[in-house]
Chain A
């Protein structure tokens, strides 16, 4: 699994790439992945239903590409870490 695969999936949903970050956690001995996606004006609809649909479409697109179900969390703009040069796409939160 590569971050570029997640990127391709996100890109396929709305046509542009949102700012995103991948978080890896270990829950009860199992690795879990959460993709956090910043909601920009372009992705934002003002009904809960439309946002939940967006969340589902993003999760579905990722599952299609990598064959795994991941959790997608919508977050406010500018909340994900930016870094100079190479972006830190994956944050490993596992306590190994």
Chain B
């Protein structure tokens, strides 16, 4: 139920973001979604791609520092309160969200959100108990291609 995410360390300077994107583009790797964290000195580019092993190898071979992390994708109703209701589950169970971002697509009137938890397994258990729709890799790729 967990999904692999690649995190890339970048310096905060012109061109720092375009270079890794170009490497992936040249290899025909599509970015399914991404998130960029920034400070005035450095940034962290977080990517979800289908072939993460190939993407990781390409980026590492080109000299970037890459970390593999596990995230959880949740489908929430695309309506007011969709996210607020989901966050209540975490609040009730004391689960901390490190960060989150979203897919730009909507499937079955649901938005897809990506969550990074300190402890993804505990979070998954809480989500299942709360009967929240968690999306695994296979399901995700199917939805994105639909």
Contact = CB atoms under 8 A, between A and B. Distances in A.
Interface of A: 39-41, 43-48, 51-52, 73-79
Nearest to A79: B11
Contact of B65 (A40, A48, A52, A73): A40
Contact of B99 (A44, A47, A73): A47
Contacts of B41: 73-74
Closest 6 CB pairs of A and B: A46-B7, A78-B63, A39-B9, A44-B65, A48-B37, A46-B67
Contacts of A40: 65
B51 interface: no
Nearest to A48: B37
A89 B64 CA distance: 22
A10 to B, nearest CB: 17
Given A45-B67, A48-B38, A79-B11, 18 more contacts: A39-B65, A40-B65, A41-B65, A41-B67, A44-B67, A46-B5, A46-B7, A46-B67, A47-B44, A47-B98, A47-B116, A52-B39, A76-B11, A76-B64, A76-B65, A77-B64, A77-B65, A78-B63
Contacts of A44: 7, 9, 65, 67
Interface of B: 5, 7, 9-11, 16, 37-39, 41-42, 44, 46, 63-67, 69, 98-99, 116
The dominant DSSP class at the B interface is strand
A51 B63 contact: no
28 contacts: A39-B65, A41-B65, A41-B66, A43-B65, A44-B7, A44-B65, A44-B67, A46-B7, A46-B44, A46-B46, A46-B69, A47-B37, A47-B44, A47-B99, A48-B44, A51-B39, A51-B42, A74-B9, A74-B11, A76-B9, A76-B11, A76-B16, A76-B64, A76-B65, A77-B63, A77-B65, A78-B63, A79-B11
A16 B60 CA distance: 20
Contacts of B16: 76
Contact of B10 (A41, A43, A52, A76): A76
B99 to A, nearest CB: 7
